[in-house]
Chains A and B, each alone.
Chain A
Amino acid sequence: MYGFEAMTFNIHGGYLEAIVRGHRAGLLTPADYNNLCQCETLDDIKMHLSATEYGPYLQNEPSPLHTTTIVEKCTLKLVDEYKHMLCQATEPLSTFLEYITYGHMIDNVVLIVTGTLHERDVQELLEKCHPLGMFDSIATLAVAQNMRELYRLVLVDTPLAPYFSECITSEDLDDMNIEIMRNTLYKAYLEDFYKFCQKLGGATAEIMSDLLAFEADRRAVNITINSIGTELTRDDRRKLYSNFGLLYPYGHEELAVCEDIDQVRGTMEKYPPYQSIFSKLSYGESQMLDKAFYEEEVKRLCLAFEQQFHYGVFFAYMRLREQEIRNLMWISECVAQNQKSRVHDSVVFIF
């Protein structure tokens, strides 16, 4: 019932919404970023973070710190918060929360499969996986030789199984079709998530469809740009776009035939919400596109908190926190490598 969430939402969702809003209040502030950017060593960063919500997670780390430790501990905090929320959640919020992690699951699957293809050690790969996207038999992925085996051996037990219907082939795995697999999976995942949110209805559907549409469109643009100059055919490219979003369907037709970045730009500038993103870039440039998209995403995610009684806040919070961890990683890398002038290149401020 749209507009009447206030009557029933708090029965099950009220506590967790309060929790998630509390967590959001703990995000680093511009003043924090300002101080972090002035740090000289990683110890300074640790010292500064110890005054924030990350404090308890970093306080027991011995002194020669590494960027990976900082990132790992910060991610651990996010994971702990996520697990706590998941434990407290009831249907359909618990399913919604689980949906948030599927993206990481896809990334992890791709990471492991690619890693084994290049004969890396499985344990080493497992350490690199995002803890939110872990599932029980993830290590067994290394056994599989082709998509069919991948599906039959491992993924059939995971929530990703339904998404695989599009890409079961007996071809041996290589970089190209792994990447296609990733995008096909992601497409199926986004569409499923979108459908799920629509089914929830109300403010959740409204806000999440906006956020997911943005995500789908961003992926479409990225796929287009990354596939320019590869052997991917137009039809195949077209198949990787999700079937919703602002660009669907006509934008997709145009993107599918784009041959260089300026054509993509031309297509995107027809859509007012994306005009501002592209107007920031100079012609022929795609380096800063990621950052521009991230900034736009953060803006939209923050807006999700303006409305009450919907699940979008959970999605938004997880994404914002991930962005914050990416920022921290970038800042610590810059500090560790003495490249402080480049700090601002990739940090997306969250306000």
Chain B
Amino acid sequence: MERIEKFIDNLPSMDLMRSEKMTLVQLIIPVESAHRAISYLGELGLLQFRDLNSEKSPFQRTFVNQVKRCGEMSRKLRFFKDQISKAGLLSSVHPVVEPDLELEELEIQLAEHEHELIEMNANSEKLRQTYNELLEFKLVLQKACGFLLPSSNLAGAEERELSENVFSNDDYVETSSLLEQEMRPSDQSGLRFMSGIICKSKALRFERMLFRATRGNMLVNQAPADEEIMDPLTGEMVEKTVFVVHFSGEQARTKILKICEAFGAKCYPVPDDISKQRQITREVSSHLSDLETTLDTGIRHRNKALTSIGYHLTQWMSMVRREKAVYDTLNMLNFDVTKKCLVGEGWCPIFAKAQMQEALQRATFDSNSQVGIIFHVMDAVESPPTYFRTNHFTNAYQEIVDAYGVARYQEANPAVYTVITFPFLFAVMFGDWGHGICLLLGALVLIARESRLSTQKLGSFMEMLFGGRYVLLLMSLFSIYCGLIYNEFFSVPFHIFGGSAYKCRDATCSDAQTAGLIKFRDPYPFGVDPKWRGSRSELPFLNSLKMKMSILLGVTQMNLGIILSYFNARFFRSSLDIRYQFVPQMIFLNSLFGYLSLLIIIKWCTGSQADLYHVMIYMFLSPTNDLGDNELFWGQRALQIVLLLLALVAVPWMLFPKPFILKKLHSERFQGRTYGLLGTSEFDLDLEPDSARQHHEEFNFSEVFVHQMIHSIEFVLGAVSNTASYLRLWALSLAHSELSTVFYEKVLLLAWGYDSFIIRLIGLAVFAFATAFILLMMETLSAFLHALRLHWVEFQNKFYHGDGYKFKPFSFALITDEDD
């Protein structure tokens, strides 16, 4: 026993297994170096600050003004970004890297830029508006003349014909002006008109409204404008319609004006006189071209300004984000009594202490502070955060474990084993080396593009796939391995490792399906003999193999889980857990299912015909009966009785002693405290770190007992149900191989049976799609989920508490862009 203890003590320290040792540190920072110190710590990224002002609302904190200023600056930066993207400029690919500016300088610069931009925008908007008005006026002039002429030429058909003719003439204005002189519109009749322009989408309703308001006493002519006009608000091009309303009477005029106003229609006066019209048109056109050049220069100027901003934008944005993070962190610190120092508390891993001290010294030096920063370790009542150092490879596995629950501080980390067991259990369900190669190719593509993909922004699905690329890699490697063992390549067996051990009874092979084959040489060296495929006993053979294998794998993994609980108990020095939890659990599981595993192995080795169901069932029903044909080894009956008794003893063993001993310990400690023996209480703290953390809590015996009862019952029932649960390895693997057989035989081979190229092509396509989507995607997902369940439930419930919280250090690298 002692030798084992020694052996365990001499094991390597298992750094991977335990989360980093953390310590609570206190920083006392002089005000003048606070900002720099915090930003250096942010670059280091290994300290998780505790919020010492959690009772204060955000705007009551010390550095709220700076936070607000940062918010204001990031608003400006967003404004720039928006303007740049609106102007259709790309923010520069190679941002200029400058030394970091002071925040104040940046603030001034940003304010200047914003002011400049807003002014430019206002100017160009004003110009744009005048431009729009002129353009609209021009359009109205162009179109309205067309309406006005025929409407004023009511005299007779000749003139109308004439005027229609002139439409085809280029110089029709001149000709019509001659007519116009004869035919002055008669103002005396009170018939007047109004011309203007309106959005095309509103034109119909506008007309209807005019009709209603004037009770039909009006005439509207419309013509679509030739050019689209830019809406100054949205910057979109809008189609417009030119209209001319003829009406009579003053009242109608005011009504129409009001309606025009309500619909946002702009009215432009069109003179009756043709020569005046021409003159105005000319003027408007020249104005327009002037304005156009001005506008263009304005836009060019603005674009130049925006481009120069664009060079710095990314740098400025990250700088402002950092500053904001620094001030947010500073807000978590407290002022000390003298108001000259800031006091902060936080968790940091012990290995980082030297680095942090170095960073703090640098901060003191760089900010020319007279007083150094005081950095010391404090005692903590609460449990520290859990921090595992991971790399590219292990990160995904740690995520798989964390998704269930973050490990309690310094508890055994199942991720260490998950790295191998997870892909392996997956592969047991997904064993097919053809599919495995497909997965491998996918994984390799992801890994080869790692550096490119990690900088890109991916969709949620790709993100997941990319995050799990190393899981995918191992999963595919293991499924190639398991596929070789199952001898399946898209469900087709291959003779890779030599010839089959079986042959037909005669040359014709006619009775192969009925009478079976005969074995004529040594077994197939690796994996399943290819001859099993398609034989009568293929399924019974493979099922028996995979079921037994599943149970062996399951019992092994569950034992590993229980052993890990031993290491946990050892680490936390809880001999109670070892004696009254680990030992009986071990005995219970192994006396039942460990024994089953033993029987399986013996049966495989000896080739015995014993019925293991029968053995296991009658071990409980009538342990004293003779085993008969099912006896695998000498003394099996006696062994069974012993094991059964052990299992029976183990149940009360794990149920009763622990709560009673806890109660005794508690009452002893309580007495010890009354007598004020310091030594004993410290000893107790070492013995039970769990309860030391919560020793303000009352010891409630019934609660503890019920808890223990639940645990024990869960374990006893769990031993049965979890073992059964591992049979999913067999079930999914069966489902996978059957599915791929169906696709291969009923689709591909069926299609190949026809002598038609098209049918073969269709068959191939269906097979490819089924393989890709059903087998490679759906089956992968389902096997993944089942492997996940086996780890989370069957494996981790043996030892894993998962009630810790994650270490979230203040780190600039982790500040993500929240705007995107």
- The interface of chain A, by Cβ under 8 A from chain B, is 35, 38-40, 43-44, 47-48, 50-51, 59-63, 122, 136-137, 139-143, 152-154
Q: Tell me whether B59 and A48 are in contact (CB under 8 A).
A: yes
How many cross-chain pairs have Cβ atoms below 8 Å apart between A and B?
A: 60
Main secondary structure of the interface of B (DSSP, over half): helix
Q: Is B263 an interface residue (CB 8 A)?
A: yes
Q: Tell me whether A143 and B255 are in contact (CB under 8 A).
A: yes
Q: Which residues of A contact B75 (CB under 8 A)?
A: 59-62
Q: Tell me whether B59 and A143 are in contact (CB under 8 A).
A: no
Q: Is B258 an interface residue (CB 8 A)?
A: yes
Q: Which residues of A contact B79 (CB under 8 A)?
A: 60
In whole angstroms, how far apart are the Cα atoms of A120 and B58 in the complex?
42
User: In whole Å, how far is A173's beta carbon from the nearest beta carbon of chain B?
Assistant: 15
Q: Tell me whether A139 and B263 are in contact (CB under 8 A).
A: yes
Q: Which residues of B contact A43 (CB under 8 A)?
A: 68
In whole angstroms, how far apart are the Cα atoms of A38 and B258 in the complex?
48
CB within 8 Å of A: which of B57-108?
57-60, 64, 67-68, 71-72, 75, 78-79
Q: Is B693 an interface residue (CB 8 A)?
A: no
In whole angstroms, how far apart are the Cα atoms of A328 and B347 in the complex?
39
Q: A63-B72, A140-B209, A140-B259 are in contact. Are A48 and B78 (CB under 8 A)?
A: no
Q: Which residues of B contact A62 (CB under 8 A)?
A: 72, 75
- The interface of chain B, by Cβ under 8 A from chain A, is 57-60, 64, 67-68, 71-72, 75, 78-79, 205, 209, 212-213, 255, 258-259, 261-264
A47 touches which of B68, B205, B212, B213 (Cβ 8 Å): B68
Q: A43-B68, A60-B75 are in contact. Are A142 and B262 (CB under 8 A)?
A: yes
In whole angstroms, how far apart are the Cα atoms of A62 and B118 in the complex?
12
7 further A-B pairs in the complex, CB-CB below 8 A; given A60-B78, A137-B205? A35-B59, A59-B75, A60-B79, A62-B75, A136-B205, A137-B262, A141-B262
Residue pairs across A and B with Cβ atoms less than 8 A apart, 14 shown, are A38-B59, A44-B59, A47-B68, A62-B72, A137-B205, A137-B209, A137-B262, A139-B261, A139-B264, A140-B259, A140-B263, A142-B261, A152-B212, A154-B209
A48 touches which of B58, B209, B264 (Cβ 8 Å): B58
Q: Which residues of B contact A136 (CB under 8 A)?
A: 205
Q: Tell me whether A143 and B213 are in contact (CB under 8 A).
A: yes
Main secondary structure of the interface of A (DSSP, over half): helix
User: In whole Å, how far is B279's beta carbon from the nearest beta carbon of chain A?
Assistant: 34
Closest to A136 in B: B205
In whole angstroms, how far apart are the Cα atoms of A325 and B385 in the complex?
40
Q: Which residues of A contact B64 (CB under 8 A)?
A: 47
In whole angstroms, how far apart are the Cα atoms of A143 and B258 in the complex?
6
Q: Which residues of A contact B78 (CB under 8 A)?
A: 59-60
Q: Which residues of A contact B59 (CB under 8 A)?
A: 35, 38-40, 44, 47-48
Q: Which residues of B contact A39 (CB under 8 A)?
A: 59
Q: Tell me whether A143 and B58 are in contact (CB under 8 A).
A: no
Q: Which residues of A contact B213 (CB under 8 A)?
A: 143, 153
User: In whole Å, how far is B120's beta carbon from the nearest beta carbon of chain A?
Assistant: 17
User: In whole Å, how far is B232's beta carbon from the nearest beta carbon of chain A?
Assistant: 15
In whole angstroms, how far apart are the Cα atoms of A338 and B71 in the complex?
24
In whole angstroms, how far apart are the Cα atoms of A153 and B60 in the complex?
56
In whole angstroms, how far apart are the Cα atoms of A143 and B264 in the complex?
14
Q: Which residues of B contact A51 (CB under 8 A)?
A: 58
Q: Which residues of A contact B72 (CB under 8 A)?
A: 62-63
In whole angstroms, how far apart are the Cα atoms of A139 and B265 in the complex?
12
Q: Which residues of B contact A60 (CB under 8 A)?
A: 75, 78-79
In whole angstroms, how far apart are the Cα atoms of A122 and B213 in the complex?
18
User: In whole Å, how far is A124's beta carbon from the nearest beta carbon of chain B?
Assistant: 13
Q: Which residues of B contact A47 (CB under 8 A)?
A: 58-59, 64, 67-68, 71
B262 touches which of A38, A61, A139 (Cβ 8 Å): A139
User: In whole Å, how far is B321's beta carbon from the nearest beta carbon of chain A?
Assistant: 14
User: In whole Å, how far is A31's beta carbon from the nearest beta carbon of chain B?
Assistant: 9
5 nearest A-B pairs in the assembled complex, by CB-CB distance: A139-B262, A44-B59, A35-B57, A140-B262, A143-B258
Q: A60-B75, A62-B75, A137-B205 are in contact. Are A38 and B68 (CB under 8 A)?
A: no
Q: Which residues of A contact B258 (CB under 8 A)?
A: 140, 142-143
Q: Which residues of B contact A153 (CB under 8 A)?
A: 209, 212-213
In whole angstroms, how far apart are the Cα atoms of A143 and B260 in the complex?
10
Q: Which residues of A contact B264 (CB under 8 A)?
A: 139
In whole angstroms, how far apart are the Cα atoms of A278 and B255 in the complex?
50
In whole angstroms, how far apart are the Cα atoms of A152 and B255 in the complex?
14
User: In whole Å, how far is A281's beta carbon from the nearest beta carbon of chain B?
Assistant: 34
In whole angstroms, how far apart are the Cα atoms of A105 and B485 in the complex?
74
Q: Which residues of A contact B60 (CB under 8 A)?
A: 38
Closest to A45 in B: B59
Q: Which residues of B contact A61 (CB under 8 A)?
A: 75
Q: Tell me whether A50 and B57 are in contact (CB under 8 A).
A: no
Q: Which residues of B contact A35 (CB under 8 A)?
A: 57-59
In whole angstroms, how far apart are the Cα atoms of A40 and B68 in the complex?
14
In whole angstroms, how far apart are the Cα atoms of A35 and B55 in the complex?
11
In whole angstroms, how far apart are the Cα atoms of A44 and B60 in the complex?
9
User: In whole Å, how far is B215's beta carbon from the nearest beta carbon of chain A?
Assistant: 9
Closest to A116 in B: B258
B259 touches which of A44, A63, A143, A152 (Cβ 8 Å): A143
In whole angstroms, how far apart are the Cα atoms of A233 and B624 in the complex?
104
Closest to B78 in A: A60
User: In whole Å, how far is A293's beta carbon from the nearest beta carbon of chain B?
Assistant: 31
User: In whole Å, how far is B254's beta carbon from the nearest beta carbon of chain A?
Assistant: 9
In whole angstroms, how far apart are the Cα atoms of A50 and B213 in the complex?
48
